[in-house]
Amino acid sequence: MTRHIDTLLVANRGEIACRVMRTAKALGLTTVAVHSAIDANARHAREADIRVDLGGAKPADSYLLVDKLIAAAKASGAQAIHPGYGFLSENAGFARAIEAAGLIFLGPPASAIDAMGSKSAAKALMETAGVPLVPGYHGEAQDYETFRTAAEVIGYPVLLKAAAGGGGKGMKVVERESELAEALASAQREAQAAFGDARMLVEKYVLKPRHVEIQVFADMHGNCLYLNERDCSIQRRHQKVVEEAPAPGLSPALRRAMGEAAVKAAQAIGYVGAGTVEFLLDARGEFFFMEMNTRLQVEHPVTEAITGLDLVAWQIRVARGEPLPISQDEVPLLGHAIEVRLYAEDPDHDFLPATGTLELYREPSAGPGRRVDSGVAEGDTVSPFYDPMLGKLIAWGENREEARQRLLAMLAETAVGGVRTNLAFLRRVLAHPAFANAELDTGFIPRHQAQLLPPPGELPESFWQLAASAFVQGEAERVRGDDPHSPWQGSCGWRAGLPAETDLALRCGDAQRVVRLR
């Protein structure tokens, strides 16, 4: 069965919308962007062949309106919809509505999304399929006594998790029985507020775990393979900061065992398209199923870097009905790749999202082993309504150290002004000796917090002098007109027979300084 796709609507925004459209255009497809009212001039809207205004500002008034998205696809002549990640990407109702409208969903069947939508149901399904699970309780009974008994059987420490959750919400580590009641009540409140579902599950808390995930891909002809793995252990509050592929120190035998388990998980739910099976890996080399993400992942570029494959192109071809182009034995594994996520956020204040205008935005130069996936440009506004990720920097090298050094060089070339970012924090993570030595686990950031998140120091005098000089030079270039030598066009305080002096009142964050330039 072959399905025709020549026009693709991307039901998303930001860097993932730009990234999907880049491949779609390379394949000769017409691209359609949807945007909210405040995203009318956003980069993804500017780069599309066709743009459709959804109105509104908040996601609930724009990017989450299923009827408007489907109407936009039909009005623009799109045969298929790519959901990106976030928003409706793992919404089974959205997938069903697309199919019911006679359109093609570039994702798995709705039944597969349903199967993995509940952590409890997913774990029960994986247990039946023979996929290794962390010891735990995933049942329907939700009373305190049930959880107390389960935790006693499992053995402390245990991890409480929201059954319908993600992103670290409704998740609590419990070290001893005396903490269980309060932690359970708190996690249930968080889960109810975030997901409208207070159901919990409890698992053995794996000490110093690594987060290793397997990229799987399946077609409509029964073929399914794994495209190696990614290590996503560097996290803050259960959200990924740095991702790399392949996972450092993973033996070929362990890679094969985890890959085959991931394929088994995908086949158990009749999966089609790109998906990721996430595992916890302990220090003894034992791995346990966590969850399956039924979509393309943020960190897919590192997999593309070590395989030379374009996963979005594969998604489009699989959606058309084509078989996977290679077999498992033909999957490449070339060198090493590392990705970091550049966010508009304030690491000095618990990583609170930052908003404002990108007065300055400079990405690193392109070149071999260098990739930037971004969704903004200088002058764009970072809104409070959406995820504050500006883009992703990806470096490839023949080995891990080469990739690390290349990514550090890329970060040194990156400059953002107008909003606070995590740029300096990312540099400190990559430069840390423990990261260089691949000492990775999910406790990396808390363990090295003193070095990674030092208290803000006083800015040196050289910084203020340089900032003042740059400001004056910029103002002079702006106003001097056609005669660069005219003293009357300058803004440097020139006067006949007297030294030129300019006093500037500058502010950087909470710090202020008056600088006198002569």
CA dist 500 → 218, 497, 503, 516 (Å):
70, 9, 10, 10
Residue from 506, 339, 511, 356 nearest 420 by CA: 356
Residue pair 433/425 in contact by the 8 Å Cβ criterion: no
In the chain, what's the furthest Cα-to-Cα distance? 90
How far apart CA 232 and CA 243 sit, in angstroms, is 5
Query: 508 pairs with which residues across the strands?
Result: 511
Query: 340 pairs with which residues across the strands?
Result: 242, 393
How far apart CA 502 and CA 468 sit, in angstroms, is 9
How far apart CA 215 and CA 94 sit, in angstroms, is 23
Helices (H) and strands (E) in the chain, counts: 17, 25
Question: Which CATH class for the 207-334 domain?
Answer: alpha beta
How far apart CA 126 and CA 508 sit, in angstroms, is 52
How far apart CA 337 and CA 398 sit, in angstroms, is 9
**Long-range Cβ contacts of 437-441 (<8 Å, 24+ apart):** 438/248, 438/249, 438/400, 440/210, 440/231, 440/233, 440/234, 440/248, 441/208, 441/209, 441/210, 441/233
Q: Domain boundaries in the chain?
A: 7-106, 135-204, 207-334, 343-447, 461-517
Residue from 254, 296, 277, 235 nearest 442 by CA: 235
Radius of gyration of the chain (CA): 25
The predicted-structure confidence for 146-164, as pLDDT tens digits, reads as follows: 999 999 999 899 999 998 8
Residue pair 435/444 in contact by the 8 Å Cβ criterion: yes
How far apart CA 438 and CA 109 sit, in angstroms, is 37
Whether domain 7-106 has CATH 3.40.50.1000: the reply is no
Residue pair 174/157 in contact by the 8 Å Cβ criterion: yes
CATH code matching the domain that covers 343-447, chosen among 1.10.1740.10, 3.30.470.20, 2.40.30.10, 3.40.50.2000: 3.30.470.20
Q: Specify burial of residue 400 (Cβ count, 10 A radius: 0-12, 13-18, 19+).
A: middle
Residue from 212, 231, 250, 245 nearest 336 by CA: 245
For residue 509, the model assigns a pLDDT of: 72
Helical segments of 269-310, H only: 300-307
Domain 135-204 CATH superfamily: ATP-grasp fold, A domain (3.30.1490.20)
Query: 133 pairs with which residues across the strands?
Result: 289
Task: Find where tokens 């245990």 sit.
Answer: 158
Instruction: Tell me, yes or no, if the two domains 135-204 and 343-447 fold the same way.
Output: no
Residue from 334, 328, 327 nearest 308 by CA: 334
Residue from 319, 298, 294 nearest 94 by CA: 294
Whether domain 461-517 has CATH 1.10.8.60: the reply is no
For residue 502, the model assigns a pLDDT of: 74
Torsion angle of C-alpha atoms 118, 121, 125, 131, degrees rounded to 10: 70
Task: Find where tokens 């919990």 sit.
Answer: 200
Three-state SS at 198: coil
Amino acid letter at 221? Answer: H
Residue from 224, 361, 243 nearest 301 by CA: 243
**Residue ranges, the chain, pLDDT below 50:** none
Q: Which residues are catalytic?
A: 295
The dihedral of CA 398, 400, 401, 404: what is its sign? Answer: positive
Would you give the distance in Å from CA 507 to the centre of its chain? 32
Token pair for 132: 């290794």
